[in-house]
A and B are shown apart, each in its own frame.
Chain A
Amino acid sequence: EVQLVQSGAEVKKPGESLRISCKGSGYSFTSYWISWVRQMPGKGLEWMGRIDPSDSYTNYSPSFQGHVTISADKSISTAYLQWSSLKASDTAMYYCAKGFNYYDSSGYPLAFDYWGQGTLVTVSS
């Protein structure tokens, strides 16, 4: 069974750093891209960026480039989303999602078929 299990909820202060995780199981972790998606309270879904776990190549949405860092450790089938200095506006639910086995001509996945349960990040002074 494919599973993406995310780390637990976090409460942080503005300016603090944070890394949350997403551990994949039940499939070949290095064969599928992992994306991170933000959902602010009561709002819709925003794609943040993705990583190819086989070589840690990343793409970021322009809206998130420079604000977060996506990484992966293929030896433990885990992807990460990291902030160096949190802001109150980073308060949101964050999901990791596995690329679906349906690709464009360049080999990039066109959708997401499995999602983690979400990690709620609250940033408040």
Chain B
Amino acid sequence: EIVLTQSPGTLSLSPGERATLSCRASQSVSSNYLAWYQQKCGQAPRLLIYGASSRVTGIPDRFSGSGSGTDFTLTISRLEPEDFAVYYCQQYGTSPEYTFGQGTKLEIK
């Protein structure tokens, strides 16, 4: 089973700042198999990025994904008030087919 470790656990930033969230895998992951989600309090997760770097239709271009192998990054270029939430990375593998990181909480400083 591939384990995804996200860092930091909590990130405190101000609106307008740049956010960099990390997701590290215990084994190499195909870039096609890495996704990012945003979950706001009391809501279901929302898919932001798939294939490590492709934005889902309708997701603002301030969100970008990058990385390969075992190290992946979600970057939010200029934080808007609505971006403060918990972010999860997710990979597709085998048994279990899908695993998630433990999440990074992005909070207002």
Contact = CB atoms under 8 A, between A and B. Distances in A.
Instruction: Note whether A and B form a binding pair.
Output: yes
Interface of A: 35, 44-47, 50, 59, 61-63, 95, 97, 100, 102, 104, 108, 110-113, 115-118
B97 interface: yes
Q: Is the interface of A mostly helix, strand, loop or mixed?
A: loop
Nearest to A47: B98
Interface in B54-109: 56, 88, 90, 92, 95-103
A35 B45 CA distance: 13
A117 to B, nearest CB: 6
Contacts, number: 63
Given A102-B50, A115-B45, A117-B44, 4 more contacts: A44-B102, A50-B97, A111-B50, A112-B45
Given A45-B100, A47-B100, A62 B95 contact: yes
